[in-house]
Amino acid sequence: MIRTFRYSRVDVDTSANIPSRINVETAAQRLGKAISYQTVSTQSSKDFNESEFLNMHQYLENAFPLIHASLKKEIINDYSLLYFWEGKDPELKPVMLTCHLDVVPIEPGTENEWKYPPFEGKVSEGYIWGRGAMDVQGGVLAIMEAVEYLLSKEFRPDRTIILGFGHDEEIDGERGAQAIGETLAQRGIELACLLDEGTPIVHDVLAELPNPVALVAVAEKGYLSLELSTSAEGGHSSVPQGLTAIARLSEAIQKLEKNPMNNKVDGLVKQTMTAIGPQMPFLYRIVMANLWLFGGLVKKELAAMPATRAALGTTIATTIFESGIKENVLPTQAKAIVNFRIHPNDTIESVIDHVRRTINDPEVRISELPGSINPSQISDVAASPYKTLKKTIREVFPDVIVAPTLMIGATDARHYAHLTDNIYRFLPLRADEGDLDRVHGTNERLSKENYREMIEFYIRLIEESAD
């Protein structure tokens, strides 16, 4: 009870309105125009439309003349953009802001389900509509709007501000963000911190939580895909030769599904619970203030929901299964792809070891596919850059509480891990559950009011972090 009563609430102001320093109507029109460029990334290089990216480059140059007159601009691997806003003190490490220029394709067959054409960039009903409004042309343009505004006020930061906009984040960022990170490393540049796109401000995340939560991802999961394969005697289906290739591999996959890696309420989960707990009703505060006692209960509740269960540990998902050519022919080969999103408590090596021990069948071959990456390190929430970020969020969004979290997907941030220990993944985007379904989905949109807040956030963050 003593711990509970010490678990003080965070003051929030649900009525505060941050005065606007920008013209949101013209800013919304500029974002709408940016959305009209179909900078789509697909897995097939032959579908890449280079002219759309180049047209986007030209548009940004025309829309933000002060940036292109005052900042040093470089083009990386033909389509990614890198800007340097030189600070007054070269001894201070730079701050880097990143987002990406590319967007995902429209799912075939859903074109007629869009209220407005997905690449029209329509501004209507208080929203900017179209692919990329939320992920993440809105982020790119909000950063550009913020810098252009500050330049118009003759602001110059003490420390250098770097802007990095990769062109292939949606397909792993190898030619975009990875190349940008390598370019900076070759020049010996070390960053004070980096802010990439990431988790949003979520509304109605829990029925018991009255306030929106700004989730700042201080780490992200790793990525691993394993190919499982096996062989068996073939022949006619009327004369089976024992355990078929499909049956053997299915048995192996079933073992994996039934024996997941350990889920834990520790580390980042505890930090998240500690941040949001003070705002919850008294009985919930008892639980959150005493996770040493109620950790099992919290784990059970979080594990009951897919979205929160993914934050507790490494996830396992069988995504491809291939075998057989005809209904009456016994297949000689079976192959499956199993995808793992690796929790910071685990590594690529520990996951592979778990798979081998769990399957425990020498007839099932296990091969690591290209593209695997270990989880990121966890950035320190006691570090000065995190405190600055948290302060800025609370200034621009006074109705929210701020909580560190784990990014369960992948971002371009991983390509900059060698440049700084302070990497944060946060997009000042307000979203409820319905809004989140629009990301990579149908009728993606961003409210003009939220877009105004996003621009104000980046303005204030640059002002704060530049000191």
Q: For residues 188 and 388, give the distance between their C-alpha atoms in angstroms, rounded to a whole number.
A: 25
Spatial CA neighbour of 194 closest among 456, 389, 450: 389
> Going edge to edge, which strands form the sheet with 127-129?
123-124, 127-129, 445-447
| Angle, in degrees to the nearest 10, between helices 137-152 and 448-465 | 60
The type of residue at 387 is: K
Q: For residues 36 and 117, give the distance between their C-alpha atoms in angstroms, rounded to a whole number.
A: 10
Non-local CB neighbours of 235 within 8 Å, separated by 6+ positions = 241, 329, 330
Spatial CA neighbour of 409 closest among 441, 375, 454, 367: 375
266 catalytic per annotation: no
Bridge partner residues of 368 (DSSP) = 226
Non-local CB neighbours of 366 within 8 Å, separated by 6+ positions = 226, 227, 228, 352, 355, 356, 359
Spatial CA neighbour of 204 closest among 431, 460, 437: 431
Question: Choosing from 169, 196, 197, 435, which is the catalytic residue?
Answer: 169
| Angle, in degrees to the nearest 10, between helices 448-465 and 384-396 | 140
Spatial CA neighbour of 308 closest among 430, 215, 371: 215
Torsion of CA 168, 174, 179, 184, to 10 degrees: 100
Neighbours of 71 (CB within 10 A): 18
The type of residue at 175 is: R
Q: Where would I find the beta strands (DSSP E) of 234-346?
A: 235-236, 315-323, 329-330, 333-342
Judged by phi (left if over 0) then psi (alpha if -120 to 50, else beta), residue 394 lies in alpha
52 catalytic per annotation: no
Q: For residues 163 and 153, give the distance between their C-alpha atoms in angstroms, rounded to a whole number.
A: 19
Question: Choosing from 52, 102, 196, 197, which is the catalytic residue?
Answer: 102
Angle at 155 between CA 151 and CA 157, to 5 degrees: 110
Q: For residues 316 and 338, give the distance between their C-alpha atoms in angstroms, rounded to a whole number.
A: 7
Non-local CB neighbours of 1 within 8 Å, separated by 6+ positions = 286
Is the bond preceding 439 in cis, omega lying within 30 degrees of 0?
no
Residues taking part in catalysis: 102, 169
